[in-house]
């Protein structure tokens, strides 16, 4: 061990050794300025220093330089000020072994930042703006600008901030422990936005040492690098006031909600520039122009919280508070959201509270203990994805996730969160065999802590940000997913209708000649359609892992494939429930989706693909224009079967109603390639039924079978209805007929 150059009368050798070896749990008791006898002493650890001075600022600038004594060869310096009773301002000046000198403000002269009340709320798990206190924040503290760093690591023996500013030396900026709270903090003067940093953590458990990204970091280095980046996310400039003011109405359950799901890294790239990603700003401009032609009401972004591995598509995030740097800075992402809002489009984020990856710089085994995850692998490991499961029973972990959800809604004006893999959260035995899981306290398989977490999540989000949407990707029959918590539900706004999606795609994949034998699979969704607030998803999950594209799933020759896909889309838009379509499906991409290549935009030179794009655009327009197709999505009063039992001809017909019961649209689907002339459908009222959509129209590259603008109702009853219409059903086609009274 290097020996002291001279002994110090004001600090023990034990404290010196602990500072030198970065083992001191509270370096603020040693470093900085302290009262000593009848005077004061300033002490600093400067391992790069050959000489050092205190710049005494009691008489103002430029200050008086007072040489410090070198009390340890590893760089510990000290300077006594006899007779000085009160604390005084100062800077430090250091000269390195190459003769270069510089001045800086000493981080160890500052007092604590977090209040006892902050620590109480953080420990209790009720600090719902925890992101304003934890992480890295540009602040003015005791009159000096710099960065406040705070991190929760209750089982650490020592935590240091490391970065370029201290040569990634964990001895330089050892943090202050805030006692039983487990929070560590330090204010480092003069740091600015853009600084790279990590936390170096030495655990009390076996001397485990690790460098971690900031769990609350607001920005991150571009992968494969893993440092966090200091960024100010508290004062963004927004121009979307009109959208935010109108959002409660725009996103009501009686409003048209048609979502375009997008993976930013593969929607469009720049092949002329090395096939690079588009930036958030480029994406904003291109997407707005594209959406203006398509008519969707919202986009849903596959996860953009910082993630290390492109192949996870964002579903294994590490930087929960950082929009991925693949496409730019946090300010660029604000520009993206703001631009979408100003043009009338909502922005929904895929949010992943079900699990997190094992990456060493992430949340796993954070302070040498299973801090964020369960220690028992029967509770803490997700077998399907090789990831860790959050410990929802721990107050600080719940607070981390609740605060994260609120952060995106507050700081980035996000309009909704689609919560990923909810089913895996609800059940302790999800994807586990007997003996691989632990029952709850009542002996059941429900994850009571996760259920409580989700209820509180929805209560917080909807109470603090009225009008936002929370959407559950939930594939089981768990009851009340989209019912209010005060009625025993989970409190989500919407639930993905995975049953409808699976049954419909299985049916559509059958050759038309065999569909009549599976008619019940097509009608089954209406048995439960109004038990939840359903969203009908044709998502990315249906076009990956060898499943092929939606177009390729369709049976028959090329003409039939396109006709079937047009049929599928129109059936979806007629069926009760909000809508979601994955990118590329709107123009019938042939190949299944891959995350590392752009969509096949060149297909739009062909008529069939142009027709599909035109159909999706018209479906969105009609869906928004016709209250009957969106106002009463979640109640039987908005739906009535007109033809349910014609399995022999594979025909379905139903009526959609608005709140005004005279506002009606008839939807008729022919799931065979046979043109059916004079097909009779019973209807409830006399009048004209105007054809507002026909998927077989030549403008969609169809064969143009149709009804010449519409049909009149005949006064004879049919199938229990007082009137009937006779229509031409196009092959593999859907017609929408708008009711117009006489």
Q: Which residues of 37-68 are buried (b: 16+ CB within 10 A; e: fewer)?
A: eeebbbbbbbbebebbbbbbeeeeeebeeeeb
For the chain, counts of helices (H) and of strands (E): 16, 39
Alpha-carbon distance of 329 to 191, in angstroms, equals: 18
Alpha-carbon distance of 641 to 618, in angstroms, equals: 24
Alpha-carbon distance of 232 to 219, in angstroms, equals: 9
The DSSP code sequence of 467-501 is T-EEEE---S--TTTTS-GGGTS---SEEE-HHHH
420: annotated active-site residue: yes
Which of 473, 542, 592, 643 is flagged as catalytic? 473
Identify whether the C-beta of residue 200 lies closer than 8 Å to the C-beta of residue 299.
no
Report helix, strand or coil for 638: helix
User: Which residue, among 581, 489, 570, 566, has the nearest Cα to 535 in the 3D structure?
Assistant: 581
Residue 230 exposed, middle or buried by CB count within 10 Å (0-12, 13-18, 19+)? buried
Report which secondary-structure segment, H or E, holds 339. Answer: helix 330-342
Report which secondary-structure segment, H or E, holds 669. Answer: strand 664-670
Long-range contacts of 272-281 (CB under 8 A, 24+ apart): 275/598, 277/326, 277/327, 278/327, 279/327, 279/328, 279/332, 280/323, 280/327, 280/328, 280/332, 280/333, 280/335, 280/336, 281/328, 281/332, 281/335, 281/336
Torsion angle in degrees (nearest 10) through CA of 622, 626, 627, 628:
-100
Identify whether the C-beta of residue 563 lies closer than 8 Å to the C-beta of residue 733.
yes
362 DSSP 8-state letter: S
Alpha-carbon distance of 654 to 652, in angstroms, equals: 7
Alpha-carbon distance of 272 to 352, in angstroms, equals: 34
CA distances from 397 to 17, 122, 363, 371 (A): 35, 10, 11, 8
Report helix, strand or coil for 664: strand
Backbone angles phi, psi at 150, to 5 degrees: -140, 140
CA distances from 591 to 278, 301, 395 (A): 22, 21, 46
Radius of gyration in angstroms for the set of CA atoms belonging to the chain, rounded to a whole number: 32
Identify whether the C-beta of residue 131 lies closer than 8 Å to the C-beta of residue 404.
yes
Identify whether the C-beta of residue 447 lies closer than 8 Å to the C-beta of residue 428.
yes
Alpha-carbon distance of 200 to 649, in angstroms, equals: 69
Alpha-carbon distance of 199 to 219, in angstroms, equals: 15
Alpha-carbon distance of 572 to 130, in angstroms, equals: 41
The pair of three-digit structure tokens given for residue 625, joined into one six-digit string? 């224009």
The pair of three-digit structure tokens given for residue 449, joined into one six-digit string? 């802590």
Alpha-carbon distance of 7 to 15, in angstroms, equals: 12
Which of 74, 78, 420, 696 is flagged as catalytic? 420
Query: Measured between alpha carbons, how far apart are the two ends of the chain, in Å?
Result: 100
646: annotated active-site residue: no
Alpha-carbon distance of 13 to 563, in angstroms, equals: 84
* Chain position carrying tokens 């290390």: 308
CA distances from 568 to 245, 308, 492, 495, 551 (A): 35, 36, 27, 20, 10
Question: What are the residue numbers of the active site?
Answer: 420, 473
């Amino acid at each position: 061990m290097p020996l002291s150059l001279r002994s110090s009368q004001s600090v023990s050798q034990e404290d010196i050794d602990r500072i030198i070896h970065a083992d001191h749990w509270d370096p603020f008791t040693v470093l900085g300025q302290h009262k000593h006898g009848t005077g004061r002493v300033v002490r600093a650890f400067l391992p790069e220093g050959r000489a050092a001075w205190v710049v005494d600022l009691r008489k103002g600038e430029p200050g008086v330089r007072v040489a410090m004594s070198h009390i340890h060869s590893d760089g510990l310096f000290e300077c006594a000020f006899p007779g000085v009773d009160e604390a005084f301002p100062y800077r430090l000046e250091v000269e390195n072994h190459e003769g270069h000198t510089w001045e800086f403000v000493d981080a160890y002269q500052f007092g604590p930042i977090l209040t006892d009340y902050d620590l109480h709320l953080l420990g209790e798990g009720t600090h719902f703006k925890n992101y304003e206190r934890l992480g890295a924040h540009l602040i003015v503290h005791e009159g000096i600008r710099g960065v406040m760093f705070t991190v929760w690591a209750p089982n650490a023996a020592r935590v240091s901030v490391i970065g370029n500013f201290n040569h990634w030396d964990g001895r330089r900026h050892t943090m202050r422990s805030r006692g039983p709270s487990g929070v560590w903090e330090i204010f480092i003067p003069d740091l600015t936005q853009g600084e790279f940093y990590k936390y170096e953590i030495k655990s009390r458990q076996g001397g485990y040492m690790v460098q971690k990204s900031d769990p609350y970091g607001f920005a991150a280095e571009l992968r494969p690098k893993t440092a966090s980046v200091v960024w100010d996310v508290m004062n963004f400039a927004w121009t979307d006031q009109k959208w935010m003011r109108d959002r409660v109405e725009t996103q009501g359950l009686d409003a048209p909600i048609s979502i375009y799901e997008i993976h930013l890294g593969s929607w469009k790239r720049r092949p002329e520039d090395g096939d690079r990603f588009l930036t958030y700003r480029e994406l904003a401009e291109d997407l707005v122009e594209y959406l203006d032609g398509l008519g969707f009401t919202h986009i849903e972004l596959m996860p953009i919280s910082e993630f290390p591995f492109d192949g996870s598509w964002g579903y294994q995030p590490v930087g929960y508070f950082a929009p991925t740097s693949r496409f730019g800075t946090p300010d660029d992402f604000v520009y993206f959201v703001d631009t979408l809002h100003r043009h009338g489009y909502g922005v929904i984020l895929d949010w992943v509270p079900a699990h997190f990856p094992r990456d060493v710089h992430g949340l796993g085994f954070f302070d040498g203990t299973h801090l964020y995850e369960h220690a028992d692998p029967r509770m803490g490991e997700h077998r399907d994805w090789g990831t860790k499961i959050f410990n929802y029973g721990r107050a600080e972990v719940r607070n981390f996730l609740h605060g994260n959800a609120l952060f995106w809604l507050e700081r980035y004006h996000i309009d909704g969160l689609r919560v990923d893999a909810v089913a895996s959260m609800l059940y302790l035995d999800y994807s586990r065999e007997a003996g691989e899981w632990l029952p709850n306290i009542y002996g059941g398989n429900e994850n009571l802590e996760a259920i409580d977490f989700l209820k509180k999540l929805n209560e917080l989000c909807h109470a603090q940000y009225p009008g936002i949407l929370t959407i559950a990707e939930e594939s089981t029959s768990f009851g009340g997913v989209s019912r209010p918590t005060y009625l025993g539900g989970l409190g989500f706004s919407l639930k993905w209708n995975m049953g409808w999606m699976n049954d419909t795609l299985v049916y559509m994949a059958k050759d038309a000649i065999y569909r009549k034998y599976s008619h019940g699979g097509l009608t089954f969704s209406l048995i439960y359609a109004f038990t939840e607030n359903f969203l009908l998803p044709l998502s990315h999950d249906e076009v990956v892992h060898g499943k092929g594209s939606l177009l390729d799933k369709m049976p028959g020759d090329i003409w039939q494939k396109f006709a079937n896909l047009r049929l599928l889309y129109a059936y979806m838009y007629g069926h009760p429930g909000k809508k979601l379509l994955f990118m590329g499906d709107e123009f019938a991409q042939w190949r299944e989706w891959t995350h590392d290549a752009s969509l096949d935009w060149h297909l739009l030179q062909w008529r069939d693909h142009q027709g599909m794009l035109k159909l999706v655009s018209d479906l969105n327009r009609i869906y928004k224009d016709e209250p009957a197709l969106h106002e009463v999505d979640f109640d039987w009063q908005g739906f009535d079967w007109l033809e349910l039992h014609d399995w022999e001809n594979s025909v379905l017909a139903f009526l959609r109603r608005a709140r005004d019961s005279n506002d009606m649209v008839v939807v008729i689907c022919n799931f065979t390639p046979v043109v059916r002339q004079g097909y009779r459908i019973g209807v409830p009222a006399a009048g004209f039924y105007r054809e507002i959509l026909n998927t077989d129209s030549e403008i969609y590259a169809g064969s143009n079978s149709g009804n010449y603008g519409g049909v009149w109702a005949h006064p004879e009853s049919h199938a229990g209805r007082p009137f009937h219409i006779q229509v031409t059903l196009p092959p593999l086609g859907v017609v929408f007929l708008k009711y117009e009274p006489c």
